[in-house]
Structure 1
């Protein structure tokens, strides 16, 4: 059953987010006003070297949490997702993926509200290119042993949805 979207109206818009309201008709004819958040698509790089994965320890002020995250971020207009993932990893960590990144997962993190489409890539090997360009991105940059990942998830140290999905997909792939 497909919903029908009628007229939309902008409530707020800046470089990062476009908040809209839409007249929506659900199957059965019920009409209601629905909010939509349009935002850029994201690209993320899981980089694995010698049984370790590169992660960021960072604070997220909105939920006021600390946790491990995969490097990644916004895909710029005209940029390919794999290139964006490599660029973001390099900017955030100072490590550039060595070689091509391969697709690991794609998903819409909040399909009922947000348009963002996330692309997760996997790479084996990395080259240190210097300090992170975006030092404000994290408190620590760590090569975490793959054997520790399940424990970090169980302990609640991975709460970011994109990172959780990426790490679980990686563990499934490597088993």
Structure 2
């Protein structure tokens, strides 16, 4: 059953996202107002070293009031490619420059509410360059064994859906 979007009007807008109110026609002909968040794409980077460890950020999310491990991530800037954004965010947030980046997957983290696309890249290895420019984004940065990922997800130490999806896929791909 397909829902039809008959039009939208903006109710709030800033440089990162826009909140629209959509007139949606349901399959039975009824209409409903549905809020839609239109967002810029963002990119994540998973750098995996020779010991099968991934570089993660320990950070606090004030919205949910939780701490957790996450991959470095950020929005794609105007005129920037997705892979350039992934590389830039990795360096800015960790101080490490990832090796050649390869596309791992693209996910829609909240497709019932938002059109945002999350592009995940991964690299074999990274080179330490300097202290991170954006060190305010995380409390610390650590190389964590991919073997520990499932237990960390189950235990709530990794909560971000985008990071969970990326790390579980990498765990599966690199097992054995």
What is the match of residue 61 of structure 1? Answer: 62
* Structure 1 stretches of 4+ moved >3 Å: none
Structure 1 residues 100-111: aligned runs within 5 Å = 100-111=100-111
What is the match of residue 96 of structure 1? Answer: 97
Q: CA deviation at 1:147?
A: 2.2
| Structure 1 gaps, min length 5 | none
After TM superposition, the score normalised by the length of structure 1 is: 0.96
After TM superposition, the score normalised by the length of structure 2 is: 0.95
CA distance in 2 between partners of 1:69 and 1:106 (Å): 16
Q: CA deviation at 1:57?
A: 0.3
1:23 equivalent in alignment to 2:23: yes
Q: CA deviation at 1:102?
A: 0.8
**Aligned alpha-carbon RMSD (Å):** 1.0
Deviations 1:123-161 (A, max 9, x none): 001111101111110001001122222221121101111
Structure 1 residues 155-174: aligned runs within 5 Å = 155-174=155-174
Structure 1 residues 29-40: aligned runs within 5 Å = 29-40=29-40
What is the match of residue 5 of structure 2? Answer: 5
| Structure 2 gaps, min length 5 | none
1:76 equivalent in alignment to 2:77: yes
Deviations 1:10-62 (A, max 9, x none): 11101112011010112121111000001111100000012210000000000
Structure 1 residues 95-134: aligned runs within 5 Å = 95-98=96-99, 100-134=100-134
- The question of whether the paired residues in 2 share the 8 Å contact of 1:95 and 1:127 is answered with yes
Q: CA deviation at 1:9?
A: 1.2
